[in-house]
Amino acid sequence: KILILDFGSQYTQLIARRIREIGVYCEIYSCEAAAADIKNFAANGIILSGGPETVTASHTPRAPQIVFELGIPVLGICYGMQTMAEQLGGKVESSCHREFGYAQIRAHGHSQLLINIEDHTSPEGYGLLDVWMSHGDRVVELPTGFKLIASSGGAPIAGIADADRHFYGLQFHPEVTHSKQGGRILSRFVLEICGCQALWTSSNIIGESIQAVRDKVGNEEVILGLSGGVDSSVVAVLLHKAIGEQLTCVFVDTGLLRLNEGDQVMAMFAEHLGIKVIRVNAEQRYLAALAGVNDPEQKRKIIGNLFVAIFDEEAARLSDARWLAQGTIYPDVIESAGASSGKAHLIKSHHNVGGLPENMKLKLVEPLRELFKDEVRKLGLELGLPADMIFRHPFPGPGLGVRILGEVKKHYADLLRQADAIFIEELYRHELYDKVSQAFAVFLPVKSVGVMGDGRRYDYVIAIRAVETIDFMTARWAHLPYEFLDLISRRIINEVPGISRVTYDISGKPPATIEWE
């Protein structure tokens, strides 16, 4: 396995995902991790990530000395290479020649890391690589024992190697897809240089998780809050495989779900998969709690607290339950435990509702704790969950509660559900669903005038939103075809009585958020 030390690069998790894709288990620790923890992890190799700081300043992070004393291969990427070079006796300077984006590097001589990996061959017979660079500083003097293995126009020292100690440094980012041979270079490092075996596959993960769950919970009962989202669904199926009847899921139908969603969840999990699911029909309670409430944050709080209260009531009824299962995934762990150095300049804001009461006297079982989202999806598919469920767009915890602006009313929710279902159905039909990251309808409780036949209408407005994004922190509105938008507008106005106007949201994030509340 591989240990990644995080210096705050926005790409650190990407490095980890690439290594996992190669089939090798890895974890991310802060660059400030204690020497003992690094040693105890017993890695076959260490990767030092990039980072936003400069090693030319003295207060900036350095790799713990132990990294260079364990006798295992080390790969420094960008800042990771610079700090390695500086710590081992080389020299780094800030350069006015910043390099950002595409660059071509030339491989020098034979290094185990880069040999026979190239995109082109130069007329003189050197290997050339198309890579992604993003740096201001550069290494200007090699540490003793190191050789130059690559250079570019902006970085005469773009790759370094100490073949005896198996220390390597790359100025470019092999983890991003713009570095075309990046995957092969990382594979070369982890499989050949570090000698790891590619055993981290979905079927192995499933097998090991099932065993781990059985060992952990024994013959005790487990309770799980099932939402129908990817993470809790995968947990449900995995636990069902591991412990069968010892698992009880609680599915709270808030009345703020999409069209037929409650029935679909029950059909899938209870009927098709034979999992014990308690459906709590709580629409009335939610509507009562939300009556007269307009403020978005207050609505979120009410919805979240009510979920906890209902889950608590159900858990109390299941007096034999000793374990609470949760769909926590690795990025949650990294963010909340501060495993990451916290030096990344972009910080994701967390707004998950459905946090469970801390006074519940249940032990936690979190089988996805070590997995990235893409790994959870692969597991779900391997476990037999349908692809459209695994690749469904994200749906916020408060559901339609934040897509009905202002006060939530049943009538509004019903209109919104119909409009939303038409939009999503057409996205699938036109093969646009997978081209956008998230798409939904929003209910605007304002009335506008229209005509229909000879009659005048005075009805509500629906806004349609579709965005493209990688990380949901920034997003652009999807440039859906006009003919498609025209079809959506006509269908909604014709088929949803009570709606007389449809608008398309053309706001990017920032400054607008993806949801309207």
Which residues contribute to the annotated binding site?
A: 227-233
Q: Does 394 bind ligand XMP (CB under 6 A)?
A: yes
* Contact flag: residue 476 with ligand XMP (CB under 6 A): no
In the complex with ligand XMP, the residue whose CB is nearer, 81 or 302, is 302
If the CB atoms of residues 89 and 394 are measured against ligand XMP, the closer one turns out to be 394
The upper half-sphere exposure of residue 304, i.e. CA atoms within 13 Å in the direction of its Cβ, equals 16
Distance of CA 149 to the CA centre of its chain: 34
Whether 175 is a known active-site residue: answer: yes
What whole-number distance in Å separates Cα of residue 87 and Cα of residue 90?
A: 7
Among residues 26, 31, 78, 249, the one annotated as catalytic is 78
Nearest of 77, 72, 94 to residue 6 by alpha carbon: 77
Does 513 interact with ligand XMP (rule: CB under 6 A)?
yes
Shortest separation between residue 35's beta carbon and ligand XMP, angstroms: 38
Q: Residue 256 or residue 492: which is nearer to ligand XMP going by CB? A: 256
Q: Is 326 in the site for ligand XMP (CB under 6 A)?
A: no
Closest distance of CB 467 from ligand XMP, Å: 8
Phi, psi of 314 (to 5 degrees): -65, -40
Alpha-carbon distances of 446 from 31, 407, 409, 466, 516, rounded to whole Å: 52, 12, 14, 21, 15
Q: How far apart are alpha carbons 506 and 179 in whole angstroms?
A: 32
Residues 46-75 vs ligand XMP: string with x where CB under 6 A? ------------------------------
Q: Which is nearer to ligand XMP, 77 or 302 (CB)?
A: 302
SS3 498: coil
Residue 201 vs 513, nearer CB to ligand XMP = 513
Residue 514 is a binding residue for ligand XMP (CB under 6 A): yes
Contact 90, 146 (CB under 8 A): yes
Q: Is 166 a catalytic residue?
A: no
Q: Which stretch binds ligand XMP (CB under 6 A): 166-174, 270-278, 423-431, 507-515?
A: 507-515
Which one from 166, 173, 249, 426 is the annotated catalytic residue?
173
| Dihedral angle over CA of 447, 449, 450, 452, nearest 10 | 80
Q: Is 220 helix (H, G, I), strand (E, B) or coil?
A: coil
Q: Which residues belong to the annotated binding site for ATP? A: 227-233
| Alpha carbon distance 103, 101 (integer Å) | 6
Please report, as residue ranges, which positions from 417 to 456 form the binding site for ligand XMP (by CB under 6 A): 438
Helix (H, G, I), strand (E, B) or coil at 34: coil
Strand order of the sheet with strand 363-365?
A: 276-281, 247-253, 221-225, 321-325, 363-365
> Is residue 373 involved in binding ligand XMP (CB under 6 A)?
no
Sheet containing 45-48: order of strands: 26-30, 2-6, 45-48, 74-77, 167-170, 159-162, 147-152, 91-107, 127-141, 120-121
Torsion of CA 144, 145, 149, 155, to 10 degrees: -10
- Interface with ligand XMP (CB under 6 A), residue total 14
| Angstrom distance (rounded) from CA 433 to CA 494 | 22
Q: Does 396 bind ligand XMP (CB under 6 A)?
A: yes
173 given a catalytic annotation: yes
Structure tokens that stand for 87 in this block: 């710590």
The length of the chain is: 517
Catalytic residue among 53, 175, 314, 517: 175
Whole-number Å distance between alpha carbons of 381 and 229: 14
- How many Å apart are CA 342 and CA 335, to the nearest integer? 8
CB nearer to ligand XMP: give 31 or 303: 303
| Residues 156/157/163/164 CA torsion (nearest 10 deg) | 130
- Binding of ligand XMP by 353 (CB under 6 A): yes
* Residue 398 lies near ligand XMP (rule: CB under 6 A): yes
Report d(CA 79, CA 172) in Å as an integer.
Answer: 10
Residue showing tokens 């978005």: 296
Binding to ligand XMP by residue 380, rule CB under 6 A? Answer: no
Judged by CB under 6 A, the chain residues 456 through 475 that form the site for ligand XMP are 472
Give yes or no for residue 351 binding ligand XMP (CB under 6 A).
yes
By CB under 6 A, which span of 58-66, 79-87, 361-369, 393-401 interacts with ligand XMP?
393-401
Q: How far is the CB of 514 from ligand XMP (least distance, A)?
A: 3
Q: Does 227 bind ligand XMP (CB under 6 A)?
A: no
Shortest distance in whole angstroms from residue 435 CB to ligand XMP:
16
Q: Interaction with ligand XMP in 2-31: which residues (CB under 6 A)? A: none
- Least Å distance, CB 230 to ligand XMP, is 12
Considering only the stretches 215-223, 337-345, 350-358, 359-367, report the one whose residues sit in contact with ligand XMP under the rule CB under 6 A: 350-358
Give the interface with ligand XMP as residue ranges (CB under 6 A): 300, 351-353, 394, 396-398, 438, 472, 509, 513-515
Which amino acids are annotated catalytic? 78, 173, 175
